[in-house]
Amino acid sequence: MEMTAGIIIIGDEILSGKVEECNSLFLSRGLRARGVNVCRICIIPDEVDEIAAEVRGFSDRYDYVFTSGGLGPTHDDVTIEGIAKGFSVRVVVEPHLRSILDRRYGDRVTPERLKMAEVPEGGELITDKALEFPLIRYKNVFIFPGIPQYLRDKFNVIEHMFIAPSILLKRVYVNEYESEIAPMLNDIVRDNKGVKIGSYPIMHNSEHRVMLTIESVDEAALTVAVEALLKGLGAKVAKVD
């Protein structure tokens, strides 16, 4: 069975272009390496109702959900509140997170800093000696910070949890225009239902004009599709890897 995932990037700063978004690329690559198929990525503002609706919808639709951003002490850090609302649970202060803040700040734990100890009621913590601050998980939703290095550190700790059949990939580079090979490509897509085929034009390359990707969890199905492509393309194939 293919495992699926959705990624939700949360932050007005992403939508306004003030900050470059790179977390979805990292997560997509990491999940694909573990055999998990990322089906959708969305970017939404720091609004409680938007977060609630998107996270609940993704949670119902996909095996795993990954959120990035909106964790912290400021007014626009509303991810926890949004997720709690989406599942109709309270926001509560998690004792272990509170103890971390107490050790760090002592009597300077302000109401704003205490926000960093909040979780949706029923949430769990994933701890590891490599993490200064645990990762929060609620049901099938993994709640990541938006700072790329923190997100990567936390994902590296949990990536072993995702075990699915490997997604096998072949690339065929074609020295022909996409419009010329489209009819043949349509036939192969129709005849190979267990395989996903992508077609991507490449600009300013004298050796090939199109890169075709062929993906499947079924090695035999992948082989059949690749052989059909090579036969159909003939001398137009520049290379295969």
Mean confidence (pLDDT) of the chain: 96
Contact between 54 and 78 (Cβ < 8 Å): no
Same domain, 96 and 50: yes
Cα 214 from Cα 81, distance rounded (Å) = 41
Reference 70, options 12, 30, 126; nearest CA is 12
Reference 31, options 199, 151, 173, 201; nearest CA is 151
Residue 225, classed as helix, strand or coil, is helix
Tally of structural domains, the chain: 2
Same domain, 156 and 74: yes
Same domain, 198 and 227: yes
For residue 106, the domain's CATH number is 3.40.980.10
86-95 pLDDT, tens per residue? 999 999 999 9
Domain that holds residue 12: 3-161
Residue ending a domain, choose from 161, 194, 212: 161
129-171 pLDDT, tens per residue? 999 999 999 999 999 999 999 999 999 999 999 988 889 999 9
The reported pTM is: 0.91
Same domain, 152 and 205: no
Dig out the tokens for 191 from the structure: 């005849």
- What's the CA angle centered on 52, arms 50 and 54, to 5 degrees? 65
Same domain, 135 and 177: no
Same domain, 217 and 105: no
Cα 12 from Cα 121, distance rounded (Å) = 26
Residue 163 is predicted with a pLDDT of 84
Residue with tokens 């991507």: 200
Residue ending a domain, choose from 102, 134, 161: 161
Residue type, 18: K
Same domain, 224 and 135: no
| Partners of 235 in the β-ladder | none
Cα 216 from Cα 202, distance rounded (Å) = 23
| Partners of 142 in the β-ladder | 66, 137
Contact between 165 and 154 (Cβ < 8 Å): no
Same domain, 59 and 114: yes
Residue ending a domain, choose from 130, 161, 192: 161
Same domain, 231 and 138: no
| Partners of 9 in the β-ladder | 43, 68
Same domain, 193 and 118: no
Judged against a pLDDT cut of 70, whether residue 50 lies above it is answered with yes
Same domain, 153 and 213: no
Same domain, 43 and 157: yes
In the DSSP assignment, the letter for residue 166 is -
